[in-house]
Amino acid sequence: MTTFAYPHLLWLLLLLVPMAAYYVWRTRQGGVALQVSTVAGVAGAPRTARYYLRHLPFVLRCAALALLVVALARPRSAEHNARSTSEGIDIVLAIDISTSMLAQDLRPDRITAAREVAGSFIADRHGDRIGLVAFAGEAFTQSPLTTDQGTLQTLLGRIRSGVIEDGTAIGNGLATAINRLRESDAKSKVIILLTDGENNSGQIAPLTAADIAKSQGIKVYTIGVGTRGMAPYPTTDYFGNPVTVQAKVQIDEGMLRKIAETTGGRYFRATDKAKLQAIYDEINTLEKSKVEITEYTTFREEYLAWALAGLALLVLEFLARSIWFKSLP
């Protein structure tokens, strides 16, 4: 994009109007006259190129003036740039994949709802490093911290129940998530732990893991997922046929709340998918990345080319008047 440092000087181009008017008036007045006895000898002479180009010097002068005026206005190309620096947040999503996550109080079931909502959360976290941890009777890392959202979404989609020993090792899941953040240099480190039960397996007590998280400056948000009372749970009868039974929902909310309070986080209860989505949206709002954007404009001066072109036309106009269109004084 071309701009001008002194655009008001472009008004000088209006000088071309009185110059053209004066030139037309002077041309019509005629120049030096010679008296001859007869023009019969030259009346039928053909007109030369010099006749058709007789106005060329004036045109060159006007063009030179226009170019020099533009050069005085200092044309320059402007390039707008923006440089952003961000302080991303390192986040680990710890998701319970025990068989109780197949309960259908969240549609279509808890584990599927958790994957879908977590996927939306990941898609909104641009610039943050996110890791995935899954736990049941034990815990494992599904994805280390990464900013590659495509890989994260793929690995998240592969999380399902029944792939490891059943149970709910909340302490182990939290400890594995902490281990993912142990060497993180981020100023803000967050774990979002989602479970639907009580700690009933594993070697690490959940509150012990919470104390470790606190000592390392890691904030833990805990989410208890499941309706209140009874929830439909798919299973099989004695003959192997699929059936749905009602199972009591048991979530250790006191422990989850204590984990969150210890680490400076918050505890949430999601009784349906819409509530779960609202919880992730709230966490997304609470944990914002710091982004600083510096905007600057780079100018490249272009007046020299205009000035040289104007001077070249002036030299050409001088040569034309002196050599090709020399007239009587």
Same domain, residue pair 70 and 177: no
Same domain, residue pair 126 and 268: yes
Same domain, residue pair 69 and 20: yes
Same domain, residue pair 122 and 253: yes
- Residue 265 counted as domain residue: yes
Residue with tokens 């192997």: 240
* pLDDT at position 9 over 60: yes
Same domain, residue pair 55 and 161: no
Q: Read off the pTM.
A: 0.65
* pLDDT, tens digit (0-9, with 9 covering 90-100), for 127-160: 889 999 999 999 999 999 999 999 999 999 999 9
Residue 328: predicted pLDDT = 45
Q: What is the CA 213 to chain-centroid distance, rounded?
A: 32
Most confident of 14-23, 40-49, 267-276: 267-276
Residue 292: predicted pLDDT = 64
What's at 138, amino acid-wise? E
Cβ-based neighbours of 312, under 8 Å, separated by 6 or more = none
- Residue 329 counted as domain residue: no
Residue 122: predicted pLDDT = 95
Domain with 125 in it: 89-288
- Residue 125 counted as domain residue: yes
Same domain, residue pair 140 and 254: yes
Out of 50-64, 93-107, 119-133, least confident range? 50-64
Residue 186: predicted pLDDT = 86
Residue 216 sits in a domain of what CATH number?
A: 3.40.50.410
Same domain, residue pair 68 and 132: no
Q: CA 261 to CA 266: how far, in whole Å?
A: 6
Same domain, residue pair 106 and 231: yes
Assess contact for 140 and 133: CB atoms under 8 A: yes
Same domain, residue pair 232 and 316: no
* pLDDT at position 327 over 60: no
- Residue 158 counted as domain residue: yes
Same domain, residue pair 98 and 242: yes
At 78 the three-state DSSP class reads strand
- Residue 207 counted as domain residue: yes
- Residue 130 counted as domain residue: yes
pLDDT band at 48 (very low <50, low <70, confident <90, very high): low
- What number is the average pLDDT over the span 264-276? 95
- Residue 191 counted as domain residue: yes
- Residue 196 counted as domain residue: yes
Say how many domains are in the chain.
2
Assess contact for 133 and 118: CB atoms under 8 A: no
Same domain, residue pair 74 and 215: no
Same domain, residue pair 216 and 133: yes
- What number is the average pLDDT over the span 232-256? 92
Q: H or E element: which one contains 65?
A: helix 56-72
